[in-house]
């Protein structure tokens, strides 16, 4: 499964020592998307590139609070763009956002949010305290830790966990993710819909991001991805374009199920003709290949890229999807739709080379 990140705001009240968007970083130009620019960004993502899923990213700031989140998600879902044989549209809006109270999470559930992601960053309490100043909203470890509990209580069916590897001992982070998943299973009967494991990357004017406290080598990264895959076999596993193409090529066969492509992480970057990795980005990307290039490579590796989102619209979320995933039955629902949506994407968006590879697989 592929997706694209869509950053809606640079504004943030936090001061995380590893983040380019921290409030005290004067090197970052600040802005957030208005409705017209947002629609233009989505038209490119859905109508030119061919994405069906987004992960929208909000900073923790009053200007991008719950009302802004709800309005922008509605706008994203409303955009339809004519293509060669039909139309392009974003069908699944996943959200990477700050921890929210139950009342605001209910508003996200009502607007039809997909997976709600909040990464703990690090499960090491001491490291967390060093990296997140106590006078900031993000300085409250337990408020962040129990976000997924509140989201499931609020009626959001699918939640996503993650840790930023490089901030503390990777073994502690892996165990934190596994135990977090088990706690959700114990309390709610369902675990995380996805687990992400980004490695810290350099960011403008952010020395700690260039020299992380606990760097993770490529070999160790392969090890920890494998452990998570075995420990939480039902979950979707997200490997992002933070990693370079070679690392992604090597890790996908270990059980990765989702990855981004054509990724631009500057606010308003998709509407630019020649975007740069500059002072508007939270970090530097390792893989800037287009969706067409990534889909073509996956096809040559023997993989069908699924653009299907029918299961979510049919209610196969939450406990329903978990029961199917745990039993292995989900493939009987998804495989045919994967083929059909792959064919649709090839007809509407693929280059000749990618179309040939896709038809072969």
Instruction: Quick: pLDDT tens for 255-312.
Output: 999 999 999 988 888 998 655 555 556 677 889 999 999 999 999 999 999 998 877 7
Token digits of residue 243: 């990693």
Q: Which residue has the higher pLDDT, 333 or 112?
A: 112
The chain-wide mean pLDDT, for the chain, equals 92
With a cut of 90, say whether residue 116 has pLDDT above it.
yes
Candidates 280, 256, 124; CA nearest to 197 is: 256
Q: Band the pLDDT of 9: cuts 50, 70, 90.
A: confident
Burial class, 143, CB count within 10 angstroms (exposed 0-12 / middle 13-18 / buried 19+):
middle
Candidates 213, 268, 217, 266; CA nearest to 243 is: 217
- Residue 263 CA to residue 289 CA, distance in Å, equals 8
Tens of pLDDT, residue by residue over 193-208, are 999 999 998 888 888 8
- Residue 359 CA to residue 361 CA, distance in Å, equals 6
Tens of pLDDT, residue by residue over 18-64, are 988 888 888 777 788 999 999 999 999 999 999 999 999 998 999 99
- Residue 6 CA to residue 45 CA, distance in Å, equals 9
Cβ atoms of 284 and 203 closer than 8 Å: yes
Q: Which residue has the higher pLDDT, 289 or 330?
A: 289
With a cut of 80, say whether residue 332 has pLDDT above it.
no
Cβ atoms of 299 and 68 closer than 8 Å: no
Burial class, 95, CB count within 10 angstroms (exposed 0-12 / middle 13-18 / buried 19+):
buried
What is the average per-residue pLDDT within 154-159? 95
Q: What is the pLDDT of residue 10?
A: 83
Q: What is the pLDDT of residue 194?
A: 96
Token digits of residue 351: 């280059």
6 in helix, strand or coil? Answer: strand
Token digits of residue 252: 């996908």
pTM reported for the whole predicted model: 0.93
Torsion of CA 88, 79, 198, 297, to 10 degrees: 10
First to last CA, the chain: 15
What is the average per-residue pLDDT within 174-195? 96
- Residue 179 CA to residue 184 CA, distance in Å, equals 9
Token digits of residue 294: 């990534």
What is the average per-residue pLDDT within 150-170? 97
- Residue 303 CA to residue 307 CA, distance in Å, equals 13
Q: What is the pLDDT of residue 322?
A: 78
Question: DSSP states of 218-271 as a string?
Answer: HHHHHHHHHHHHHHSTTSEEEE-TTS-HHHHHHHGGGT--EEE-S---STTGGG
Phi, psi dihedrals of residue 254, rounded to the nearest 5°: -80, -5
What is the average per-residue pLDDT within 200-228? 92
Tens of pLDDT, residue by residue over 58-96, are 989 999 999 999 999 999 999 999 999 989 999 999 999
Q: What is the pLDDT of residue 279?
A: 54
Q: What is the pLDDT of residue 276?
A: 58
Candidates 165, 187, 166, 188; CA nearest to 177 is: 165
Which percentage of the chain shows pLDDT scores above 90? Answer: 76
337 in helix, strand or coil? Answer: helix
């Amino acid at each position: 499964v592929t997706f694209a990140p869509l950053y809606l705001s640079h504004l943030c009240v936090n001061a995380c020592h590893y983040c380019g968007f921290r409030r005290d970083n004067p090197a970052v130009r600040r802005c957030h998307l208005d409705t017209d620019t947002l629609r233009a960004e989505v038209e490119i993502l859905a109508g030119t590139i061919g994405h069906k899923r987004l992960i929208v990213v909000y900073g923790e700031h009053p200007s991008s609070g719950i009302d802004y989140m709800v309005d922008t998600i509605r706008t994203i879902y409303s955009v339809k763009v004519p293509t060669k044989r039909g139309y392009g549209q974003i069908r699944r809006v996943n959200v990477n956002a700050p921890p929210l109270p139950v009342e605001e999470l209910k508003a996200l559930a009502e607007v039809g949010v997909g997976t709600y992601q909040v990464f703990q960053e690090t499960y090491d309490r001491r490291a967390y305290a060093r990296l997140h100043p106590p006078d900031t909203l993000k300085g409250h470890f337990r408020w962040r830790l129990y976000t997924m509990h509140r989201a499931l209580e609020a009626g959001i069916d699918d939640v996503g966990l993650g840790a930023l590897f490089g901030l503390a001992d990777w073994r502690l982070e892996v165990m934190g993710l596994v135990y977090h998943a088990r706690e959700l299973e114990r309390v709610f009967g369902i675990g995380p819909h996805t687990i992400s494991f980004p490695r810290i990357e350099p960011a403008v004017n952010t020395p700690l991001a260039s020299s992380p406290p606990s760097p993770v080598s490529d070999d160790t990264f392969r090890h920890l991805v494998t452990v998570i895959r075995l420990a939480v076999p039902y979950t979707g596993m997200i490997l992002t374009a933070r990693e370079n193409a070679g690392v992604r090529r090597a890790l996908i066969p270990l059980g990765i199920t989702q990855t981004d492509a054509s990724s631009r992480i500057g606010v308003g970057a998709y509407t630019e003709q020649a975007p740069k990795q500059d002072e508007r980005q939270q970090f530097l990307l390792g893989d800037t290949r287009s969706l067409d290039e990534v889909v073509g490579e996956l096809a040559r590796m023997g993989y069908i890229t699924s653009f299907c989102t029918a299961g979510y619209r049919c209610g196969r979320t939450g406990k329903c999807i978990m029961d199917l995933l745990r039993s292995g039955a989900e493939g009987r629902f998804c495989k045919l739709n994967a083929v059909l949506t792959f064919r649709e994407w090839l007809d509407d968006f693929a280059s000749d080379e990618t179309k040939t590879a896709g038809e072969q697989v």
